[in-house]
Amino acid sequence: DSGVTQTPKHLITATGQRVTLRCSPRSGDLSVYWYQQSLDQGLQFLIQYYNGEERAKGNILERFSAQQFPDLHSELNLSSLELGDSALYFCASSVEGTGANVLTFGAGSRLTVL
Amino acid sequence: GQQVMQIPQYQHVQEGEDFTTYCNSSTTLSNIQWYKQRPGGHPVFLIQLVKSGEVKKQKRLTFQFGEAKKNSSLHITATQTTDVGTYFCVRGTGNQFYFGTGTSLTVIP
């Protein structure tokens, strides 16, 4: 157990729908990162939050949004889902929000869009 | 761009053989990290290199950071079936971590 909790583990939905993925960072970590990993693909950085504030944006689609709440948990909202959004979504946390820190990953949420 | 390139993309080795994956960047790296993702698992941090020419060892794994801080390598001596997985180098810069393309290692018993 890495200390980073992601729910749900698996999610199956239809095109056009909206889903919310949830992440609780490791205790003491202030920064949360979201990554997307498609089949046989690398990890694409989506967005980062630090202590409730958005810090950096990567290749995140306009249909996707995220936020980090005062208790530091984060949610990734995916709307108007398309078949191509099927992927493994990872949340990672770190103590600080800098690139010199170490990322601790959750087990991921596997999204299947039918 | 921001991504670091890794070669090879796939590597199949016989158990007991050595394995090396290379990571290359077009720009100077402030640091480089390595992560391992087992099949069906999540990435797990292995090590961070910061200094030019740095070499670090973890049992059968040897990590190197190039003198110009533009490349890095991971070498595994005498692979075992437990080494199976995808190895990513990660560029850490500012607030972001950019994962390399990854090298998927298969070890044939």
In whole angstroms, give the CA distance from residue B22 to residue B72: 6
Average pLDDT of chain A, as a whole number = 94
Cβ-defined contact of B42 to A100 (cutoff 8 Å): no
| pLDDT confidence band for B1 (50 / 70 / 90) | low
Which chain A residues have a beta carbon less than 8 Å from that of B98?
Answer: 45
Pairing outcome for strands B19-24 and B71-76: antiparallel
Q: Residue A96 has what pLDDT? A: 81
pLDDT digit string, tens, across residues A47-59: 999 999 999 999 8
B60 touching A (Cβ < 8 Å): no
The C-alpha of B82 sits at a distance from chain A's nearest C-alpha, in angstroms, of: 19
Please give, rounded to a whole number of angstroms, the shortest distance from the CA of A51 to a CA of chain B.
13
**How many other CB atoms are found less than 10 A from the CB of residue A71?**
9
pLDDT 10s digits, A3-34: 999 999 999 999 999 999 999 999 999 999 99
pLDDT digit string, tens, across residues B29-53: 999 999 999 999 999 999 999 999 9
Residue numbers in B near A92 (CB within 8 A):
43
pLDDT: which is higher, A98 or B31: B31
Please give the share of chain B, as a percent, with pLDDT higher than 70. Answer: 97
